[in-house]
Amino acid sequence: MRIDNQQSTINFKTSYRKVIKPGYLMGDCYEASTCFFRKDIQWNSFFNHIIEKYRNTQKINVFSLASSDGSEAYSIAMLLISKLGEEGAKKFFPIIAVDFDKTITRNARKGFMNLSADDELRINKYTGNKLNKFFERTNRSFLSEPMGGSETRELLTKFKTRPVLQDKVVFITEDLNTYVEKMPDKNNLIFCRNCWPYLWKTSDEFAQKLSQKTDKNSYLVVGNFDTLCCPMNLKNCYGFSMSKDFQNVFDKSGSGYHDGMRVFFHQMAED
């Protein structure tokens, strides 16, 4: 599907979108590319830690900020259900997925996802082969548009998101700079990954506001794409400390730990 309007050309092709946004970094555009179980966090060990940490907490507020089509939020939901069962994972739901892109959030709410073969493999890997519990395969497959300015195309299959998964995520269409003020100020598990370069001039102010929403019982998770644009990656600031144990994770432990070199070396063993 191609949508053209006076301001922008939107090329919405499944899990990959490119939207021209004048005034932003990265060639004056932002991209909503995403995938399931994106490789920049240690999914298993981090979530084992989270489950232990919140063992005695009654409600944890989970946010997928800059959520794109929901792949991240659904990855989190599937992992929690796989580890704790639906009942046990209840206190983490609903996951709030926020993105300012109207087209992608509107499509996310319709309950269809287009999965690549790699998405399918990764979902099965992290859920113990439970892809079919969470998604219903349709007979529609197609090639994506060329991705990321290259000629690479992906074969994608359309899946219906089953209610057991779809019910766990609420999509909100809003700019993060305003949404952050509405967030609760404790027990927050905040994923804000692979969007900091797009926040650009507002990133310092946003980090400051996010810090106010991050108490000692909260975490902030960023992505590899955020390396040089997330203010906390450059120096320990806004009260955040970099986690020693988990890459791309920040907390309010007050340890003052900061590994300036780590941001340049992304090699991380998958778990």
The footprint of ligand SAM (CB under 6 A) covers: 30-34, 38, 66-68, 72, 99-101, 104, 175-177, 193-195, 198-199, 223
Nearest distance from residue 144's CB to ligand SAM, in Å? 15
User: Is 65 or 80 the residue whose CB approaches ligand SAM more closely?
Assistant: 65
Question: Encoding tokens for residue 20?
Answer: 């021209």
Q: Return the closest-CA partner of residue 144 out of 154, 135, 131.
A: 154
Nearest distance from residue 245's CB to ligand SAM, in Å? 20
User: Is 99 or 154 the residue whose CB approaches ligand SAM more closely?
Assistant: 99
Nearest distance from residue 85's CB to ligand SAM, in Å? 26
Nearest distance from residue 175's CB to ligand SAM, in Å? 4
User: Is 136 or 175 the residue whose CB approaches ligand SAM more closely?
Assistant: 175
Q: Is 237 helix (H, G, I), strand (E, B) or coil?
A: coil
**C-beta of residue 50 within 8 angstroms of C-beta of residue 65:** no
d(CA 74, CA 78): 6
User: Is 43 or 198 the residue whose CB approaches ligand SAM more closely?
Assistant: 198
Nearest distance from residue 55's CB to ligand SAM, in Å? 27
Q: Return the closest-CA partner of residue 71 out of 137, 162, 169, 158.
A: 169
User: Is 131 or 199 the residue whose CB approaches ligand SAM more closely?
Assistant: 199
CA distances from 216 to 72, 179, 182, 254 (A): 24, 21, 19, 9
Nearest distance from residue 194's CB to ligand SAM, in Å? 4
CA distances from 260 to 87, 228, 232, 240, 251 (A): 40, 11, 10, 14, 16
User: Is 55 or 75 the residue whose CB approaches ligand SAM more closely?
Assistant: 75
**C-beta of residue 207 within 8 angstroms of C-beta of residue 54:** no
